[in-house]
Amino acid sequence: MRILFLGDVVGRVGRQMVHEHLPGLRERWALDFVVVNGENSAGGFGITEAIHEELLAAGADAVTLGNHAWDQREALVFIERAPRLIRPANFPAGTPGRGAALIEARNGAQVLVVNMMGRVFMDQLDDPFAGIDRELDACPLGMAADAILIDFHAEVTSEKQAFGHWCDGRASLVVGTHTHVPTADHRILPGGTAYQTDVGMCGAYDGVIGMDKEEPLRRFTRKIGSSRFEPATGPGTLAGLAVETDAAGRALHCAPVRIGGGLSEALPHFW
């Protein structure tokens, strides 16, 4: 199975990159399944129903979220009628929406998509390690699911790496989101799980993690905020991870994807 995961879509520039490139990539690479993290897609904070529909129309099979899931209050309502919009599974019981979904891929395979959030320097949610055990036990790889894709939305590299090893052999792909900077550690873990600590973001990199740099600079140098954060403008970059799996759902290949903008281009060599 050919899978593409795209990192946090930040603001208008990030959305434009998805709309410009994803439809062509789906056809050119014959992608079976695409996941997009959309938690920063609405002006850098949250997601709206219209934007969610736009991401699906561009070629996403599922959209994951994170700590900004409810910044646009309408998400609390429309998520209930959006079965492919997935918020962190370790949110408290009774939170609207779902933390995992079994979705049919373009090739007819059943793909489990799970969103989980870390706890180090983040909101103190339920234990993500115990939470992912429940999700994987309920829908095992190779039995109930042909592939399992996990978006671990977390701050620190140590927690992300530990989480990847915890899931190794039980998932096809574990990727980190949230920090918006692509790491150079993409690899296949010993048990056959593709992993990258952070896949980066889809947005403008001439800023501070996707935001216009002037306000972050003022806050760092003067410790006084003078305005709200606004998404950066300028050339955009599409960033993510491409993965190919075998019939058992284990990763055969993985490679970073970076298209456009100020970062060096990276494309999968195995397709």
**DSSP letters spanning 230-256:** -B--SSEEEEEEEEEE-TTS-EEEEEE
- Calculate Rg over the CA atoms of the chain: 17
One of 21, 52, 68, 153 is an active-site residue; which one?
A: 68
How many other C-beta atoms are found inside a 10 Å radius of the C-beta of residue 24? 10
Among this protein's residues, is 68 annotated catalytic? yes
Q: Give the whole-angstrom CA distance, residue 176 versus residue 198.
A: 4
Q: Which residue, chain included where needed, has tokens 């979904």?
A: 101
Hey, what's the torsion of the CAs at 66, 23, 81, 108, to 10 degrees? Answer: -100
CB 66 within 8 A of CB 37: yes
CB 119 within 8 A of CB 128: yes
Q: Give the whole-angstrom CA distance, residue 79 versus residue 6.
A: 20
Give the 3-state DSSP-derived string for 154-208, with helices as H, strands as E and coil as C: CCCHHHHHHHHHHHCCCCCEEEEECCCCCCCCCEECCCCCEEECCCCEEEECCCE
Catalytic positions are: 68
